Amino acid sequence: MVCLFHGDYGPADPAFTVSGANGHGWTIDASLLKDARNIGEAEAIQRHVLKGQSVAWCHQGYSWVDQDAIGWFYLAAFVFVVLPHIFLKIKAWNSRLGAGSTASRGIEATLKPQLDP
């Protein structure tokens, strides 16, 4: 199946009708051209049908990536996933540094009181 994009063939022509373009000499059934919005789209459909390919009209690929909603999604993922992860890593790192002085002496050092000699 061939995926065609409306934007590749120019803007829609309100005056274009397949029946009104009979002077063009279509070699395929006019019902196959019902989705064409201008002469360029109709010619593209005819080219692909004559090659034996089925035709479908598709949306403009990854143009959805440029929407504002996607930017907000990335911001939310950063705020609610990345920042808490970094915060917890730093907190764990700081707690290990603070416990390092007593951990090096063993658990007995924390349980026995230190007496001055």
* 6 and 58 together in one domain: yes
- Residue 55 located in a structural domain: yes
* 50 and 80 together in one domain: no
* 10 and 61 together in one domain: yes
**Has residue 34 got a pLDDT over 70?**
yes
SS3 state of residue 38: coil
Q: Which helix (H) or strand (E) holds 4?
A: strand 2-5
* 73 and 107 together in one domain: yes
- Residue 93 located in a structural domain: yes
**Has residue 80 got a pLDDT over 90?**
yes
From the list 48, 51, 37, 46, the residue with the least C-alpha distance to 7 is 37
Please tell me the total count of domains within the chain.
2
CA angle 67, 68, 71 (to 5 degrees): 100
41, 4 Cβ separation under 8 angstroms: yes
* 45 and 57 together in one domain: yes
* 13 and 61 together in one domain: yes
Range of the domain at 104: 68-111
- Residue 45 located in a structural domain: yes
Higher pLDDT, 91 or 17: 91
Higher pLDDT, 8 or 61: 8
